[in-house]
Amino acid sequence: MTDPWDQIARADATYRFLEAGARSLPRDREHAGGAGPLAGQIIGVKSNIAVAGQAWTAGIAARRDRLAPQDAPIVAQLRAAGAQILSRLIMDEAALGAASDNPHFGRVENPAQPGQSAGGSSGGSAAAVASGALRLALGSDTLGSVRIPAAYCGIVGLKPARGAMPLDGVLPLAPGFDALGLLGATLPEVSALYALFDQTPAKGGLRVMIPDQLAGIPCAPEALAAVARVAAAADRLGLRAPAGLVPGWEPEETRRAAFSELCARASETLAAEPGLSQSVRRSLDFGAQLPPDQRAAGARHLADLRDGLGACFDAGFVLLTPTTPSGSFPHGTRPPRDQASFTALANIAGGASLSVPLPDDPLSSVMLTGAAGTETALLALARELMDALMAPETSP
């Protein structure tokens, strides 16, 4: 039988999802798993999440020798459930990036699309799962950093609501936007792992709504086709609501306001971190130098949008959109400016969001976004929709 740790090492040699596997793997594998629902499983962990005795870098070179004194609570929970931990999955520096092309630790390769970006900032987590080396991994998501890599790598990505999974022991980027998330090979596996943290029964009565604003966002034909297919499945199940406007959502204004606020918050949380690259420093300087009136106007816009999203969620709607307007981009090119157009909504609202690949076309994905507390319902709804998508249509 193949040793799973040897399989991880071989996959990393090809896809380069570990920061320094020669150093971290021996320590990881010496920690045996225990009894529990995750016995026999190895769960990957993004490098901004503390794992005792391992470098807690968050992709920052100056933190190479800063060892985590103890596990983050989320890691401790995984160990208590019987899992072993694979630490130090590569991410964009300080989580402030969108390609997992780290100037200090290297570029992650996309197992599903050679030559294309694995996305960011949780690209190492996504690639480790997409390579087959792992079934499940943890990432963090500030404006889409779990769901975008999941979509680019053809796997499942769940961003639970803010606070649903503890952020202690996670190096912050933009408090208020940050959340932990799960990446997995299949919906059932992600559902089973999330159930360890939240036993809330699935909320019924939710209906799928395509927001009117989708028509105003340039999207690749395949992204729109994926939404149309899932919407048709929702129709057949009687789960579709009429398309409607999300009050307060002006996509371009929202994109600018969210990015500006992210940089402003990051300029405070990362102010004391030495050795940051010029690229990250430019983003922090941009955030720190935002005129107060501009930041205030952006905050008002985001508050209005939170209210608008809340009204949709209160009505029992789940938003159906593409995960990203278009697919992954070639290595070495600039990430699309609009790739978080849809994913940012859940971070702004503090809600739950799920990116799921189509069963017969994994590189086409859709996203379901709902209120806080609907994580279990979104997972169940996605399974129902994907099953309906693949079921043969019957004549009336």
278-321 pLDDT, tens digit each: 999 999 999 999 999 999 999 999 999 999 999 999 999 999 99
- Distant-in-sequence, close-in-space partners of 265: CB < 8 Å, separation ≥ 6: 173, 174, 175, 176, 177, 287
Nearest residue to 29 (alpha-carbon basis) of 86, 88, 89, 90: 86
C-beta of residue 177 within 8 angstroms of C-beta of residue 143: yes
Consecutive H or E run containing 332: none
Tokens of 115: 């030559």
**pLDDT tens-place string over residues 38-77:** 999 999 999 999 999 999 999 999 999 999 999 999 999 9
Tokens of 128: 């480790």
pLDDT at 356: 98
Bridge-based pairing state of the strands 361-370 and 317-322: antiparallel
Catalytic-labelled residue, pool 47, 100, 117, 121: 121
pLDDT at 16: 98
User: Which DSSP category does 183 fall into?
Assistant: E
Output the tens digit of pLDDT for each of the chain's 396 residues. 689 999 999 999 999 999 999 999 999 999 988 999 999 999 999 999 999 999 999 999 999 999 999 999 999 999 999 999 999 999 999 999 999 999 999 999 999 999 999 999 999 999 999 999 999 999 999 999 999 999 999 999 999 999 899 999 999 999 999 999 999 999 999 999 999 999 888 888 999 999 999 999 999 999 999 999 999 999 999 999 999 999 999 999 999 999 999 999 999 999 999 999 999 999 999 999 999 999 999 999 999 999 999 999 999 999 999 999 999 999 999 999 999 999 999 999 999 999 999 999 999 999 999 999 999 999 999 999 999 999 876 545
CA 195 to chain CA centroid, Å, is 18
Beta bridge partners of 375: none
SS3 11: helix
d(Cα 184, Cα 173) in Å, to the nearest integer?
Answer: 23
4-194 topology per CATH: Amidase signature (AS) enzymes (3.90.1300)
Match 């008002």 to its residue by tokens: 300
Tokens of 249: 């959502």
User: Which DSSP category does 297 fall into?
Assistant: H
Tokens of 112: 């599903």
Is 283 catalytic? The answer is no
Tokens of 280: 């990250």
Is 46 catalytic? The answer is yes
pLDDT at 394: 57
d(Cα 348, Cα 143) in Å, to the nearest integer?
Answer: 8
C-beta of residue 211 within 8 angstroms of C-beta of residue 319: yes
Task: List the domain boundaries for the chain.
Answer: 4-194
Catalytic-labelled residue, pool 47, 100, 117, 145: 145
d(Cα 154, Cα 361) in Å, to the nearest integer?
Answer: 8
Is 145 catalytic? The answer is yes
**pLDDT tens-place string over residues 364-393:** 999 999 999 999 999 999 999 999 999 876
C-beta of residue 321 within 8 angstroms of C-beta of residue 214: yes
pLDDT at 203: 83
Catalytic-labelled residue, pool 46, 87, 267, 353: 46
